[in-house]
Homo-oligomer: A and B are copies of this chain.
């Protein structure tokens, strides 16, 4: 059953004359979402440490939650009984639920994949579960997010072409079954383009999925340990194969500099746990790059973490206070740093959008990338691979 979503649509506004960057607007049953947009990650129905009002104060229009996590805890039935995910987490703006495909393949234990679906053991208690594309859509209809995702099979970043092709083919068959399962017409179902780092597979995947006709297209299987250059090249190639009038969603990206590069290549939607996760480690974003607030340099720093920032944390506290909270492992530390980083990313998106609308995106981008010193590529890659590897072998959320 193919649905036309009257309640949820994408309107493409301005495109940058010098790049693929574009400004648009998603209409959802829970408000308008200006794009490009970054979705904070709230896998378990909570953007870690924050209440909905804090996200709204920052201006966040949409958050991401995760079907895999919510299925395991508290259970889809519980959330349905509580009136759906919006009500459960007291968030009346838009929500996107990821299908959990990535989590099944990276967190769960003992996966056994067949065409029918995937059998896995929970990363929490080892209990055994079997999910299918049909179930994943039924779960997401019960949760009631505004944007829902197909179930996909995610190969590792260093898998062979043959292995990646098989995962892609299965992802295509599953996407079709997801599409046929959808019943609600107030949720937009997005497909996920796979194909790893292989251009010919990405082309096949984009062509196949666009031929089915989805409300939006995600680019999956990137930013999972491959070099940044590859992420950007594959993104660029894939976006070129997607329809102009549909939103493009680059999953799991990311850092401020990666988001800017993604926008440049025509991506509309981003999500990543990075800004909130690094915040809890004491890394705070500034126009000059990430600073580690635990650094002794901040011990006596009277100005806020970022004097240019208008977030609650910077309006209220000195960097010295935040440094003190991190030194003492005080829970408030994680919260204040999270507010700051999400505010930074949200402002970055707003500024990028304004620049696109004003036709000044290229100079905005140059100026941002000139002053923002990204985390060293090799360090970044090692951290990422370590994280993906450890989550593949055990557990981990966000």
A interface list, Cβ under 8 A from B: 44-46, 48-52, 73-74, 78, 81-82, 88-90, 299-300, 302, 312, 316-318, 320-321, 323-325, 327-328, 330-332, 334-336, 397
Q: Give the distance to chain B from A343, nearest Cβ to Cβ, in Å.
A: 15
Q: Which of A73, A74, A336 has the most CB of B within 10 A?
A: A74
- Give every chain B residue within 8 A of A328 (Cβ-Cβ): 44, 73, 397
Q: Which residues of B contact A327 (CB under 8 A)?
A: 73-74
**Chain B residues within an 8 Å CB radius of A330:** 44, 46, 48
9 nearest CB pairs, A to B: A74-B324, A49-B331, A46-B332, A90-B316, A44-B328, A46-B330, A73-B327, A73-B328, A48-B331
Partner of A331, one of B45, B302, B323, B335: B335
How close is A336's CB to chain B, nearest CB, in angstroms?
8
Measured CB to CB, the nearest residue on chain B to A339 is B51
Q: Kindly list chain B residues whose C-beta atoms are within 8 Å of the C-beta of A88.
A: 318, 320-321
Contact across chains for A323 and B50 when beta carbons are under 8 A apart: no
Residues of B within 8 A of A74 (CB): 299, 320, 323-324, 327
* Chain B residues within an 8 Å CB radius of A52: 316
B317 touches A90 (CB 8 A): yes
Min Cβ gap A247→B in Å is 29
Can you show 14 pairs from A to B with CB atoms below 8 A apart?
A44-B330, A46-B325, A46-B330, A49-B335, A50-B332, A51-B312, A51-B335, A73-B324, A78-B300, A82-B302, A82-B320, A89-B321, A90-B317, A335-B335
How far is A325 from B82 in the complex, measured between Cα atoms in Å?
15
Q: Given that A300-B81, A302-B82, A325-B46 are known contacts, is A51 also in contact with B332, CB under 8 Å in the complex? A: yes
Q: Are A302 and B46 in contact, CB atoms less than 8 angstroms apart? A: no
Tell me the nearest residue of chain B to A301, going by C-beta.
B82
Q: Which residue of B lies closest to A90 (CB)?
A: B316
Contact B318 A82 (CB under 8 A): yes
- Are A44 and B324 in contact, CB atoms less than 8 angstroms apart? yes
